[in-house]
Structure 1
Amino acid sequence: MSNTKKAYIAGGCFWGMEGLFRNRKGILDTEVGYIGGENENPSYKNHPGHAEGIEITYDENQTSFKEILDYFYRIHNPTTVNRQGNDKGTSYRSAIFFQNEEEKAIAEEVIDIVNASKKWDGKVATTLEPYTKFWPAEPEHQDYLQKHPNGYTCHFERFEESFI
């Protein structure tokens, strides 16, 4: 019997993160969208303050929030503010949208572990933001890299070994 939960993160262009997370053990579903912004019903052309994020549905019997964050820090550069690769602006910030105090504490713990590892040049700049609402992106953005295998992404596994 599965123990299904959701996690909400942002780390640059949502396509690349979705493409890497979708095949991880315990990940049941991924959806790209907008989170943490100012307007209702955001769109690709109008999402002020929203990050390009992903909603990860996972089976807690197979993976944990901590393991999801560990992988998150291995596939994007968390030390750049509002930037990943060629993408610049608050839409491309590194953020964890915590749903409760337990998730916030886990996120803080993982950030401390990543900083202590000194694998990245500089300190983690990931923002910890309370979850408000996740708005799914338009259909053409869902599963983008499956539809366009050579499509743009700035995400890749930078470290094979786990931080945790």
Structure 2
Amino acid sequence: MKYLLPLIVAFSLFMTPVNAFADELILAGGCFWCLEHDLESLKGINFVQSGYSGGDLQNPTYENHEGYQEVVLIDYDSNLVTLPEILRLYFRNIDPLDGKGQFCDRGDSYRPVIFFKDATEKSDAINAIVSASNELRVPIEKISVELKSKGQFWLAEEYHQDFAERNELKYKFYRFSCGRDQRLDKLWGDNARSINIWNE
């Protein structure tokens, strides 16, 4: 028994913590149902949650989140997927030319925003903006994705989480009627909804 504790301690030193490479990213890109659905299938993504960020109101709700954007919190394994890859998939699932909303959803709550936590994330976001403008063959000033310092993330109501999976028919009808995929196909062509290398 006296050897058991040292053995456990020694063994634990060689164990890699489960979340050793876990990192988080907050993105806004229109309806959080869609963005959650589009990003969570990427290898290396641990989970995606829908919520609100960017505002000052305490405890925002779906009925009252003035000043906030609908966002997703992405928890990912940085040993399996890189931030530039996630940002590439993000851009290919939004209309970065539209700063007044996304697709059929209009207004401040739906405009695209990348929330960065430090200089490295900000640099990666800027590089993604440059690459997107090159691929779309538009001046960089046309890319209407805001870069904003990361603030608090407020989890949205339970019925918004995994909405596409739990309400498949309603989600598909909404997505089609909103024209999301039609616009993505027109904008990005074969690269729509993909993590293909930037076509610059």
The verdict on a shared fold, with TM-score over 0.5 as the criterion, is yes
Structure 1 residue aligned with 2:161, among 120, 123, 142? Answer: 142
One-letter amino acid of the structure 1 residue matched with residue 51 of structure 2: G
State yes or no: 1:37 paired with 2:55.
yes
TM-score normalised to structure 2 length:
0.77
User: 2:162 matched to 1:162?
Assistant: no
The structure showing larger relative contact order (alpha-carbon pairs under 8 Å, at least 6 residues apart) is 1
SS at match of 2:128: helix
Q: Which has the higher helix share?
A: 2
Q: Which residue does 1:132 correspond to in 2?
A: 151
Deviation at 1:96, TM superposition (A): 0.2
SS in 1 for 2:64: coil
CA offsets, 1:118-138, max 9 Å, x none? 257982100000001000000
Identify which of 105, 116, 120 aligns with 1:102.
120
Choose from 2, 21, 28 the match for 1:3.
21
Identity over the aligned pairs, expressed in percent?
A: 33
1:73 equivalenced with 2:91 (yes/no): yes
Deviation of residue 163 (structure 1)? 1.9
> What root-mean-square deviation, in Å, do the aligned CA atoms of Structure 1 and Structure 2 show?
1.8
Q: 1:119 to 1:32 in 2, by over 3 A?
A: farther
Q: Which deviations, in whole Å up to 9, do the C-alpha atoms of 1:96-143 show, x marking residues without a partner? A: 000111100110011011111125798210000000100000001000
Distance, in Å, in 2 between the alignment partners of 1:120 and 1:25 is: 30
Gaps of 5+ in 2: 1-15, 186-190
User: Which moves more between the two structures, 148-157 or 138-147?
Assistant: 148-157
| Higher Rg | 2
TM-score (norm 1): 0.93
Structure showing the higher strand proportion among its residues: 1
Change over 3 Å in CA distance of 1:115–1:106 after alignment to 2: same
Q: For structure 1, list consecutive stretches of 5 or more residues without a partner in the other structure.
A: none
Aligned pairs, number: 164
